[in-house]
Amino acid sequence: MTQSAQTFNHPSLAAGGAEQAAERTRGLYERFAKGAIDRMVGLVLLVLTIPIAIPVMIAVFIDLGLPIFLRQERVGRDGKVFKVVKFRSMEPDRRATRGPSFVGADRRVNHKSEDDPRLTPVGRFIRKWSLDELPQLWNVVAGQMSLVGPRPEMVQIVDRYEPWQHARHQVKPGVTGLWQVSARGEVPMHEATHIDLEYVESISLWTDIRILALTIPAALGSRTGH
């Protein structure tokens, strides 16, 4: 896995005439305006979520001790690897858990499953309501992630990608995205590249606003069974 910048091509991204103009518009928004908006809004959200983050930090400390935060390598824009920040939700060692663990293909499918035996009761709660992902706002403010974009995948899964799937890395990964609001719980994240490519092709300020507006009801719906 290399960390050097790459440019990936996908047949559906080829454009001409009016499509090229639309692509240039998307490029200007994604390259310039989107990053500035992300950092400003991300900083505001960091401040606004402090009353939520502090109780979560205390609960994680009581449940799992130190460290409170988990830093995992994920693949970002242009194939560059960065460390995503989350609240810890799992036991640090599989041998400390009881029950079956996921291995091989099962682990690939269930790597975000709420049935993972490593999850603690507190961890299961904060993951159920996506509170474990609040620290990713730091990644947004640092310019490594966007508020909206393809979810950042693990390096070992990206290593198994087909060449065309890397087109999702043309943009920054997001805290939320089209996958979360359209197929959450129905399609495994690593198998939903076509959804990510749909976002890459249609990226715009309006698209981002629409996805952000749909994120909370989509998350609540997936947790209440609707």
Strands 146-148 and 153-154: unpaired
Reported as a single tens digit per residue, the pLDDT across 25-45 is 567 888 889 999 999 999 999
pLDDT value of residue 23: 60
pLDDT in tens, 108-125: 444 455 667 889 999 999
- Assign residue 65 a region: left if phi > 0, alpha if psi is -120 to 50, beta otherwise? left
pLDDT tier at 185 (50, 70, 90 boundaries)? low
Residues forming a β-bridge with 119: 90
Crossing angle of the two packed helices 205-224 and 193-202, in degrees rounded to 10: 150
Strand partners, 81: 75
Closest CA to 135 of 179, 97, 83, 184: 83
Q: Which residue has the higher pLDDT, 93 or 151?
A: 151
Distance, CA of 8 to chain centre:
20
* % of the chain beyond a pLDDT of 70: 71
Extract the tokens encoding 34. Answer: 């989107």
Q: How confident is residue 12, by pLDDT bands cut at 50, 70 and 90? A: very low
Cα 206 from chain centroid (whole Å): 20
User: Does the pLDDT value for residue 96 go beyond 50?
Assistant: no
Of 193, 72, 224, 90, nearest in space to 144 by CA: 72
**Is 87 within 8 Å of 69 (Cβ atoms)?**
yes
To the question of pTM greater than 0.85 for the whole model, the response is no
Q: 165: which 2 tokens?
A: 């799937």
Span between the terminal Cα atoms of the chain, in Å = 39
pLDDT above 90 covers a percentage of the chain that reads: 59
User: Nearest 10 degrees: CA dihedral of 57, 61, 64, 70?
Assistant: 40
